[in-house]
Chain A
Amino acid sequence: MNAWVLLLGGLTVWAIHFFLLYSFASLFPGQEIARILTLAATAPALAVDALLLWAAAGRAFQTDELDRWVYDVSATGAALSFIAVIWQALPALLV
């Protein structure tokens, strides 16, 4: 996978997920459907994060300094995004 996609993938997932959540909440204010859509969008976002983590892991044992560094940033980014996506969706369950 392209290095830029890996580097920015996790954060992009978070951003798309966030804007979807904002759209649902704005399009269906005060309605149950907004919560359902929030959870529905969260599952694929987490799946893509897991996929990115797996793709980044392919570079974990590279000897090339840059490839190894891309792995470090990408894997941490995907993991961070995984947690952030869950955090971002929590209001749909709690509020």
Chain B
Amino acid sequence: MNSETGFDPELLNRFPTSEERPKGEVEELNRIWAAPSGWARLTVVNNNYIGIFYTGTAFLFFLLAGALALVMRTQLALPLNGILPQETYNQFFTMHGTMMMFLFAVPMMEAIGILLLPQMLAARDLPFPRLSAYAFWAYFVGGLSFFASLFFGLAPNGGWFMYPPLTSITYSPGINADFWLLGIGFIEISAIAGAIEILVGVLKTRAPGMTLARMPIFAWAMLVFAGMIIIAFPAVILGTLLLEFERALNWPFFDAARGGDPLLWQHLFWFFGHPEVYIIFLPAAGLLSMMVSTFARTELVGYHLIVLAILATAFISFGVWAHHMFTTGMPDLSISFFSAASMAVSVPAGIQVFAWIATFATGRPRYNTPTLFLLGALITFVMGGLTGVMVALVPFDWQVHDSHFIVAHLHYVLIGGAVFPMFAAFYYWMGMTSSRALSERLGTWVFWLMFAGMHITFLPMHLTGLMGMPRRVYTYLPESDWMATNLISTIGAFTLGAGILLFLVDLARNFRFTVEDDAGNVYGGGTLEWLPTGLYSTRSIPVVRSRSPLWDDPNICEDVEKGRYLLPNAPTGHRETIITSPLRAEPQYLQIMPGPSPWPLLAALFTAGFFVLLTIQAYTPAVISGVLTIPCVLRWLWETDRPVAVRTADVGAGIRLPTYVTGPSTHGWWATIILLIVVFMIFLMTVFSWFFLYGIHPRLWSAPDNLLSLVPVLGGYGAAAGLLFLGRHLLARTKSTHWSPATQILLAAIALVAAFGIDLWSWRESALDPELSAQAALTFAFLSQQGLLVAITAIMALYLALRNARAMITRPRNTTFDVVFLFMLYTAGQGSVTAVLTRLAPAGFPA
């Protein structure tokens, strides 16, 4: 067997061990991993709790958004109905779509990931539990504040995709649109935090032996899901930032008269928006793959094809965004490319569907409630996929664009591709978190009500659309002939609602949250989440030798429980998990994990406060809240990255692993790189916007008059980079003084501030006015991003100096030092590119 890291794979053959473990280890694990009680429970960071909080909150938003849909359907049941006035209807459909996409679907998938992944990978927890807690609380507070806007008549009303110019200050003068822009921008931060956690978790905390070829399909799906969030979400973050700048500062990014273009918003939004559909679908498909295998009582057919299909879906989904823009007058060849890609994306989805059917065909299927939901998902998703291929055809899309046909199509895809799989997963995995399983008898009723309701609602809606009824209209005339199909749709919606209500009854009767006394593996799954667990996850971390370890090794549960595998105790006396290599999952080191803390919660509250207060234009309190976030984050980080007294620890069978490692193989390094990819994607999208707007209005662009300032700006950034490398070099030298490495970092921060200051000053002195041209507005958008990065690096440098003063910077390498180094180096690089691009790119183009 080959090795990835130099670790001898033969060592893993020592497990399971045969000798008895010392007494008291389980009690010690329980003590270390115990969750706080009472009000202190709010500071919990264990994935079991955060996962269930997260799932519950996402489901709450699903119910709230669903309730809005029922009111809308009541309004549309009959022509000229007067239940909802036009303005309220606009707010309802905007909130329904926004909540379902941003507050339910994506967070629900992240929530299920946080809940299931550690157990599925047999990790003690995901690598950044406090980040998970922060992501949850930020989402919880931000989401509820966003929803509350509805009660004050301040909810956004421009549709879930918020197209300008409708959402510009001219046509949406209130703060309704700002609630969307700031609220969603904030919730995206939470989603990205969760994605970083999941990405690093799947790649670095798998049980030894769980190579890429043995990873549960859900882990593959979550890996790709998180990667897609990292690439896609920056586009919408930039979009919301630009639109908010336009509304607040009159910078004309989307105003055609001043060199902007409303289509830029559509490109930015849909570059995020279409992959978003697959961001929702892929984890759900991963759940389906896991369940199909269990219910068919056989291995999944075409495992490698399904992995390839998941990867292919992710790639192709980034090439289909403009199929939402077929009616905007793009060049024929362009729309043909997008049409071709939109048809192609159905191929990997088809591969998965055929693999599921083949698994059922080759196995011995059992029929129960989750199987019903699974089959319902399959049928519904395929129907939605077929209408998806129809709308990928440009002439057909022209006919049905913005009609109820599209509403029907997207609900088929999303309910079949995410909602039904989610309900199947609720039934299937309930045994992991509840002491009682859900009722099979009630579950059958729930399924049929939901399945029938879904199709009664949306099948006739295709006809409503083909008959010409547009989306987002609050009523229609009796002579339009749309009443019959609308009435049927409304009856269907209430049937669907009745199914969900019955599910709530079942939940109330049977769901009893527990960590240790769970109902267990009710359906006989073969993957690791069904090992006996406590708050510390599994007693010992098994060696994985197949894709379904519980099916292939009948003794694994007992061996794990008796501590016969890795890490049967807590050798450092802290919370810890094994970090493994990304390809072959070879053990690398023990990660010391942080425990419960109020600081992530407080940081989330103040971050939410900043955005909410900013939205309601309470600027001073917003700034105070934003500033208070900083010490909370720093305090939370202060307790991390501390080497322990034990340099290496025995993790079982005589295998010793280091307890502190630095450099590119560490989880901290990986997380920083991923965060920098997010920052880079925001920058890249700004560069795209720059060239896009130049391409639309080249004659409105002019060569800047501050070329000479390029010299000191580049000099400053170059000096910063040099000082950073010098600091890192000095840290590794034993002869350097205690303060010399940190001093270089502080000097580098000063150089960054100086370079940025000169850049900003030179633009403020130039003739370009950001209120008068999109070119200048984008230049200042670049500078805003750079300013934020420089401010963060200044705080980082001071934080590093503070840790240095407390002798917390280890030599020859230190993780905090590495993180600050990487972030500052990137900032210098982006600043240099910004300075060159904004000065030279337009000047170099023909007028």
Q: Which residues of A contact B (CB under 8 A)?
A: 3-4, 7-8, 11-12, 14-15, 18-19, 21-22, 25-27, 29-30, 34-35, 38, 64-67, 69-70, 72-73, 76-77, 80, 84, 87-88, 90-92, 94-95
Known interface pairs A18-B319, A66-B211. Does A8 touch B341 (Cβ–Cβ under 8 Å)?
no
| B336 in contact (CB, < 8 A) | yes
- A18 and B339 alpha carbons, distance in the complex (Å): 12
Shortest beta-carbon distance from A23 to chain B in Å: 10
Some 6 contacts from A to B, beta carbons below 8 A apart, are A15-B315, A29-B333, A70-B212, A73-B304, A88-B337, A91-B336
Distance (Å) between the CB of B585 and the closest chain A CB? 10
* Residues from chain B with Cβ under 8 Å of A29 in the complex: 331, 333-334
Bound together, the chains give a CA A92 to CA B583 distance in angstroms of 40
Give 5 closest A-B pairs by Cβ, nearest first: A91-B336, A69-B213, A29-B331, A25-B333, A25-B334
Q: How far is the CA of A69 from the CA of B210 in the complex (A)?
A: 13
Q: How far is the CA of A48 from the CA of B213 in the complex (A)?
A: 25
Measured CB to CB, the closest approach of chain B to A91, in angstroms, equals 3
Given contacts A29-B334, A77-B312, contact A66 B213 (CB under 8 A): yes
Contact with A along B792-811 (1 / 0, CB 8 A): 00000000000000000000
Which of B1, B322, B341, B695 is the one whose CB lies under 8 Å from A64? Answer: B1
A76 touches B311 (CB 8 A): no
Are A27 and B695 in contact, with the CB atoms below 8 A?
A: yes
Decide: B311 and A91 in contact? CB cutoff 8 A. no
Asked whether, in the complex, the Cβ of A26 is within 8 Å of the Cβ of B331, the reply is: yes
B823 interfacial contact with A, CB 8 Å: no
Do A76 and B304 touch across chains, with their CB atoms under 8 A apart? yes
* Contact A15:B319 (CB < 8 A) given known A66-B584, A69-B304, A92-B333: yes
- Chain A residues, CB < 8 A from B347: 80
B479 interfacial by beta-carbon distance below 8 Å:
no
Query: Are the C-beta atoms of B315 and A90 separated by less than 8 Å?
Result: no
CA distance A15 to B341 in the complex (A): 10
Indicate if B305 sits at the interface (CB-CB under 8 A).
Answer: yes
How far in angstroms is the closest Cβ of chain B from A40? 14
Write out, one digit per residue, whether chain B residues 303-340 have a CB within 8 A of any chain A CB (1) or not (0): 01101100110011011001000000001111011111
Q: Is B653 an interface residue (CB 8 A)?
A: no
Take A25-B334, A35-B333, A92-B333 as given contacts and tell me if A66 and B316 are in contact as well, using a CB distance cutoff of 8 Å.
no
Q: With A and B bound together, what is the CA distance between A69 and B546 in angstroms? A: 13
Q: How many Å from the CB of B130 to the closest CB on chain A?
A: 29
Name B344's contact: one of A12, A27, A35, A88 (CB within 8 Å).
A88
**B residues near A7, Cβ cutoff 8 Å:** 212, 311
Is B737 an interface position by the 8 A CB rule? no
Cα of A58 to Cα of B341 in the assembled complex, Å: 30
- Residues of chain A within 8 A of B336, CB atoms compared: 91, 94-95
Once the chains are docked, how many angstroms separate the CA of A29 from the CA of B341?
19
Flag whether B480 is at the interface (Cβ < 8 A). Answer: no
A77 surroundings in chain B (CB, below 8 A)? 308, 311-312
Q: How far is the CA of A48 from the CA of B318 in the complex (A)?
A: 21
| B13 interfacial by beta-carbon distance below 8 Å | no
Once the chains bind, are A72 and B304 in contact (CB under 8 Å)?
A: yes
A45 to chain B, nearest CB (A): 14
Contact B315 A25 (CB under 8 A): no
* CB neighbours of A95 from chain B (8 A): 332-333, 336
Contact residues in A for B333 (Cβ distance below 8 Å): 25, 29-30, 34-35, 38, 91-92, 95
B contact residues around A91 at 8 Å (CB): 333, 336-337, 339-340
Evaluate contact between A11 and B311: CB separation under 8 angstroms: yes
**Are B315 and A14 touching (Cβ within 8 A)?**
yes
Inter-chain contacts of B339 with A (CB < 8 A)? 91
Is B734 part of the binding interface, using a Cβ–Cβ cutoff of 8 Å? no
Q: Is B308 in contact with A80, judged by CB distance below 8 angstroms?
A: yes
B340 near A8: Cβ-Cβ < 8 Å: no
**Are B337's CB and A21's CB within 8 A?**
yes
Decide: B315 and A12 in contact? CB cutoff 8 A: yes
**Interchain CB contact (< 8 A) of A14 among B2, B213, B304, B316:** B316
Total A-B pairs in contact (CB under 8 Å)?
A: 93
Nearest chain B CB to A35 CB, angstrom units: 7
* Residue in contact with B341 in the complex, picked from A27, A66, A88, CB distance below 8 Å: A88
Q: Which residues of A contact B341 (CB under 8 A)?
A: 18, 88
Q: Considering the chains assembled together, what is the distance between the CA atoms of A90 and B341 in angstroms?
A: 11
In the assembled complex, the Cα of A80 lies from the Cα of B583 at a distance in Å of: 23
Cβ-defined partner of B583 (8 Å) among A27, A66, A90: A66
Contact between chains at B318 and A15 (CB < 8 Å)? yes
Contact B340 A88 (CB under 8 A): yes
Given A25-B334, A26-B695, A34-B333, are A87 and B344 also a contact pair (CB < 8 Å)?
Answer: yes
CA distance A66 to B9 in the complex (A): 13
For A8, A30, A70, A95, the residue with the greatest tally of chain B CB atoms inside 10 Å of its CB is A95
Instruction: List chain A residues, Cβ under 8 A from B331.
Output: 25-26, 29-30, 34
Residues of A near B2 (CB, < 8 A) are: 64, 66-67
Binary contact readout B686-700 vs A (1 if CB under 8 angstroms, 0 otherwise): 000000000100000
Q: State A4–B344 Cα separation when bound (angstroms).
A: 23
Contacts of A84 on B, CB cut-off 8 Å? 316, 344
Contact (Cβ within 8 A) B213 A65: yes
- Expressed in whole angstroms, the minimum distance between the Cβ of B454 and any Cβ of chain A is 33
Given contacts A15-B319, A64-B1, A87-B340, 4 further A-B contacts (CB under 8 A): A18-B341, A30-B332, A66-B211, A84-B344
CB distance from B209 to the nearest CB of A (A): 11
Nearest CB in chain A: distance from B271 CB, A: 11
Give the complex CA separation of A25 and B1 in angstroms.
Answer: 49
Neighbouring A residues of B304 by C-beta, 8 Å:
69, 72-73, 76
Among B304, B311, B337, B339, find the residue whose CB has the most chain A CB atoms closer than 10 A. Answer: B337
Complex: how many Å from CA A88 to CA B341? 7
Instruction: State whether A73 touches B308 (Cβ < 8 A).
Output: yes
**Cα of A63 to Cα of B482 in the assembled complex, Å:** 64
On whether the beta carbons of B583 and A3 are closer than 8 Å, the reply is yes
Q: Closest approach, in angstroms, between the C-beta of B691 and any C-beta of chain A?
A: 10
Cβ 8 A contact of B340, one of A12, A27, A65, A90: A90
Query: Is the pair B311, A25 in contact by a Cβ cutoff of 8 Å?
Result: no
- Interface digits, B488-506 against A, CB 8 Å rule (1 contact, 0 not)? 0000000000000000000
Q: Which residues of B contact A34 (CB under 8 A)?
A: 331, 333
Of A21, A27, A76, which contacts B308 at CB under 8 A?
A76
Chain A nearest CB: distance from B208 CB in Å?
14
**A72 proximity list for chain B (CB < 8 A):** 304
Distance A19 CA – B334 CA, assembled complex (angstroms) = 11
* Cα of A73 to Cα of B332 in the assembled complex, Å: 35
B830 to chain A, nearest CB (A): 21
The complex places the Cα of A70 from the Cα of B336 at a distance, in Å, of 33
Contact of B213 with A22 in the complex, beta carbons under 8 Å:
no
Most chain B beta-carbon contacts within 10 A, residue among A3, A18, A69, A72: A18
In the bound complex, CA of A91 to CA of B334 (Å): 9
Point out which of B304, B307, B318 has the most chain A C-beta atoms below 10 A from its C-beta.
B304
Residue of chain A at shortest CB distance from B394:
A95
The docked-state distance in angstroms from the alpha carbon of A16 to that of B837 is: 23
Q: Which residues from chain A contact B319 at a C-beta distance below 8 Å?
A: 15, 18-19, 22
Which residues of B in the span 114-160 have a Cβ within 8 Å of any Cβ on A? none
Q: Which residues of B contact A70 (CB under 8 A)?
A: 212-213
Please state if A66 and B311 are interface contacts (CB–CB under 8 Å).
no
Alpha-carbon separation in the docked complex, A76 to B213 (Å): 15
Whole-angstrom distance from the CB of A82 to the nearest CB of chain B?
13
Residues of chain A within 8 A (CB-CB) of B318 are: 15
Closest residue of chain B to A24 (Cβ to Cβ) is B333
Residues of B within 8 A of A94 (CB): 336
In the complex, chain B residues whose CB is within 8 Å of the CB of A65? 211, 213
Q: Are A11 and B315 in contact (CB under 8 A)?
A: yes
**Cβ–Cβ < 8 Å partners of A30 in chain B:** 331-333
Shortest distance between the CB of B278 and any CB in chain A (Å): 14
